Amino acid sequence: MVYYRNNELMIRNMEEADALIFTNEEIAQGWHADISKYLKRLKDQSDGKCVSLTAVYKGLPAGYVNVYYTGLGGPFSGKGLPEIVDFGVLEKYRRKGIGSKLMDIAEDIAGQYADTVWLGVGLHSGYGSAQRMYVKRGYIPDGTGVWYQKKPCEQYETSIANDDELVIFLSKKLEQQDKK
């Protein structure tokens, strides 16, 4: 399904071929990429658990995001609220509006199911541009503090690492839409 299209950019459902492209491109830019992440999202999409989106810029996969109808884990789990998971734009395609358009579509999809959407964002500097974008889009911290490996961290906890598993959760109220 195609959700958006203009002369340069198309947002559509993720396809199996995208998984290898994203994996190879992320490895080339120095990320710890693993194709299994994309294959899991594709399976979840096939099973009706989420919508996995690919942004195609000038004919090439450039970014992705997933919207789960109910959260995968964290402070909003079990509350019937959609979660945005694994948002990314390949470095060579950044600052072209691709990430903003992906998030617009993801929020539109989430808004069909609830009036609030949530996400977790990493705390190390590699997530800096995402952190700034989420704040600019109106996401606010949920107040449960820092989480590590899907569990909230206790005050003064020292058994954590500043890796991709160290996150803070944010939520955003969405404009009212007709719910499915």
Q: Which domain holds residue 9?
A: 2-173
Residue 32 pLDDT = 84
Q: How many CB atoms lie within 10 A of CB 48?
A: 8
Instruction: Report how many domains make up the chain.
Output: 1
Residue at 180 is within a domain = no
Q: How many CB atoms lie within 10 A of CB 116?
A: 16
State how far the Cα of 71 lies from the Cα of 94, in Å rounded to an integer: 27
Residue at 179 is within a domain = no
CB neighbour list of residue 115: distance below 8 Å, 6 or more residues apart: 173, 174, 176
pTM for the complete prediction? 0.92
pLDDT in tens, the chain (180 residues): 999 999 999 999 999 999 999 999 999 998 888 999 999 999 999 999 999 999 999 999 999 999 999 988 889 988 999 999 999 999 999 999 999 999 999 999 999 999 999 999 999 998 998 999 999 999 999 999 999 999 999 999 999 999 999 999 999 999 865 555
Instruction: Indicate the SS3 state at residue 94.
Output: coil
Which position has the token pair 């109808």?
A: 69
Residue at 73 is within a domain = yes
Residue at 126 is within a domain = yes
Residue at 72 is within a domain = yes
State how far the Cα of 18 lies from the Cα of 37, in Å rounded to an integer: 12
- Crossing angle for the helix pair 98-111 and 128-136, nearest 10 degrees? 50
Q: Residue 140: beta bridge partners?
A: 171
Task: Give the amino acid at 68.
Answer: Y
Residue 137 pLDDT = 97
Residue at 178 is within a domain = no
Query: What are phi and psi for residue 130, nearest 5 degrees?
Result: -65, -45
Please provide the size of the chain in residues: 180
Q: Residue 120: beta bridge partners?
A: 169
Residue 20's CATH number: 3.40.630.30
State how far the Cα of 38 lies from the Cα of 53, in Å rounded to an integer: 11
Residue 177 pLDDT = 56
